[in-house]
């Protein structure tokens, strides 16, 4: 890719601004979540103990500071408006992101893990790779299952793409060659999920998310890819139970 490509490199967001926004949003989510835990009777509990209802609340506690952070960055350091700053334009061709995301879940992820499973079969077994998602889905039922699906399949792609591609990747592209920006942002995205066994698959998928954003100059493509990816994972879990 050409580093001078205007689609994403016209950003005014420096790496320091992007890093600070992410850090403050993550830090700010902690007391909000602690307050929610206290008010809803879940103080002292680990996330594995939370019912689906509070898992959904916890996601709101995490995402609202992130959304606030990108809004503040846009208003303080952005250009004409939020839509242009984060490349939130849509074209009908961006709908191809949905089947691309599905294909990434069904083909890319297994392809990434296959050689790892041949070498470290115990570490990268399919059960371990899917364990966190499986545990979340197993606890959900009825309306809460629908709520969890909407949060993971729709909410997560919107917020995460704004932060990790719209803000962080653009900031990195303003200082680095595109390939370095893609690799660093993808590695960061995979690492912040705090699940080492999930890192290879998330890293590979994040590379494609970043590439799609950089090539198209529109965040809608990567959002739709992310929606297809997450929705396919949850539908697969639902069909397997």
Asked if pLDDT for residue 3 goes beyond 50, the answer is: no
Looking at the domain assignment, is residue 149 inside a domain? yes
Domain encompassing residue 129: 6-240
Looking at the domain assignment, is residue 28 inside a domain? yes
Give 140's contacts (C-beta < 8 A, 6+ positions apart): 52, 147, 148
Asked if pLDDT for residue 171 goes beyond 90, the answer is: yes
Asked if pLDDT for residue 47 goes beyond 90, the answer is: no
Looking at the domain assignment, is residue 1 inside a domain? no
Asked if pLDDT for residue 236 goes beyond 60, the answer is: yes
pTM beyond cutoff 0.85: yes
Split into its structural domains, the chain has a count of 1
pLDDT band at 79 (very low <50, low <70, confident <90, very high): confident
121-137 average pLDDT score: 86
Looking at the domain assignment, is residue 192 inside a domain? yes
Report the Cα–Cα distance between both ends of the chain, in Å, rounded.
43
């Amino acid at each position: 890719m050409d580093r001078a490509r205007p689609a994403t490199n016209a950003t005014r967001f420096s790496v320091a601004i992007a890093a600070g926004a992410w850090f403050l949003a993550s830090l700010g989510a902690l007391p909000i979540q602690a307050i929610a835990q206290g008010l809803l009777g879940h103080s002292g509990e680990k996330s594995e103990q939370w019912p689906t209802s509070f898992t959904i609340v916890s996601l709101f506690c995490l995402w609202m500071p992130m959304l606030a952070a990108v809004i503040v960055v846009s208003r303080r350091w952005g250009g004409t408006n939020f839509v242009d700053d984060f490349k939130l334009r849509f074209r009908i061709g961006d709908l191809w992101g949905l089947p691309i995301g599905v294909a990434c879940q069904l083909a890319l992820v297994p392809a990434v893990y296959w050689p790892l499973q041949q070498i470290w079969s115990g570490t990268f077994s399919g059960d371990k790779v899917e364990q966190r998602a499986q545990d979340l889905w197993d606890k959900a039922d009825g309306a809460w299952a629908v709520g969890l699906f909407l949060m993971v399949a729709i909410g997560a792609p919107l917020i995460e793409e704004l932060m990790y591609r719209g803000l962080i990747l653009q900031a990195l592209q303003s200082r680095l060659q595109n390939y370095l920006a893609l690799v660093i942002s993808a590695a960061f995205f995979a690492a912040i999920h705090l699940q080492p066994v999930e890192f290879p698959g998330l890293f590979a998928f994040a590379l494609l998310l970043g590439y799609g954003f950089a090539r198209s100059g529109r965040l809608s493509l990567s959002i739709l890819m992310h929606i297809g990816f997450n929705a396919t994972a949850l539908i697969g879990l639902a069909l397997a139970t």
